[in-house]
Amino acid sequence: MGDHRVPPACRPRDRRTNRLQRPLCPPTTTGVAGSFPTGLGSNPGHPVPLGFVFRSRAKDEKAQAADKALVTDSNETRHPEAPKGRPTPKRSEAQSQRRSVANTSMTRKDAAKRGREERRAALEKQRQALAGGDERYLPARDKGPVRKFARDFIDSRFNIAEFFLPMAVVILVLSLVRVPALQNIALLLWLVVIVLIVLDSVVTGFRLKKRLAERFPDDNRRGAVAYALMRSLQMRRLRLPKPQVKRGERP
């Protein structure tokens, strides 16, 4: 420690000789520079550690709350501010757990097998819907009230186009006969059938368009007439979805 000198202004004078007395020894200090001298009331004999003074009370309160928290059933909802009762896993541990679960739960072969089973189940539901008319599992082109009305409109009446396939077979047989008269009749029947199908399709499309505008003024009717005309070309037994109305029944 360096020599602590007391300035002359701080020295008392002798009244008889009017001289400065001997310098007083400054109080000895211990510890860190700037600390209070020992023996004073402001500085205790055993200094208090700083960690005790400035310790965090939040950790102590959380620890006490975690100790007092009751273990509840897993079915009950936990309050968002309540402690979890378990330490949060590290990021590496969480990733490894997810990776292990993903690898062990389903392999590539199992995923492919599961996909085939799901597709098979979906096709089975779609087949049953086409046979029974269930709207939930129908294909996208057959869904909706507009398409259902178009199907019922075609199924409720006779259409010349649905007899095109049987008449085409008859005309083909007549054309193969080596008789010129029969071949001419077959050619004439072919032309008549085509003209009748075109006229019947035009009339059916015009009526269906008018009925759709009256029944569904605010719905999307795009493609409904063409959808109905394509259905009219099929025989009644081969139509999918299956007809839900009888002939002559008003849809």
Pick the residue with more confidence: 109 or 243? Answer: 243
Q: What three-state secondary structure class fits 20? A: strand
Give the per-residue pLDDT at 159. Answer: 93
And the tokens for 95?
């990733």
30-34, 109-113, 220-224: range with highest mean pLDDT: 220-224
pTM: predicted TM-score of the whole model, two decimal places = 0.55
Check residue 14 and give its pLDDT.
Answer: 62
In 20-55, which positions are buried (b, 16+ CB within 10 angstroms) versus exposed (e)?
Answer: eeeeeeeeeeeeeeeeeeeeeeeeeeeeeeeeeeee
Q: Say what the pLDDT of residue 81 is.
A: 57
Q: Residue 26: pLDDT band by 50, 70, 90 thresholds? A: low
Around 243, how many Cα atoms within 13 Å sit in the side-chain half-sphere?
A: 22
Please give the average per-residue pLDDT across 224-239, as a whole number. Answer: 93
Sign, CA torsion 214/215/217/223: negative
Report how far residue 148's alpha carbon sits from residue 139's, in angstroms, rounded to the nearest whole number: 12
pLDDT tens readout for residues 208-227: 999 999 999 999 999 999 99
Phi-psi region of 223 (alpha: psi -120 to 50; beta: other; left: phi over 0): left
pLDDT for the residue numbered 210: 94
Per-residue pLDDT reduced to its tens digit, 150-203: 999 999 999 999 999 999 998 999 888 888 898 899 999 999 999 999 999 999
d(CA 156, CA 151): 9
CA 89 to chain centre: 26
Q: What is the pLDDT of residue 217?
A: 92
pLDDT at 44 over 70: no
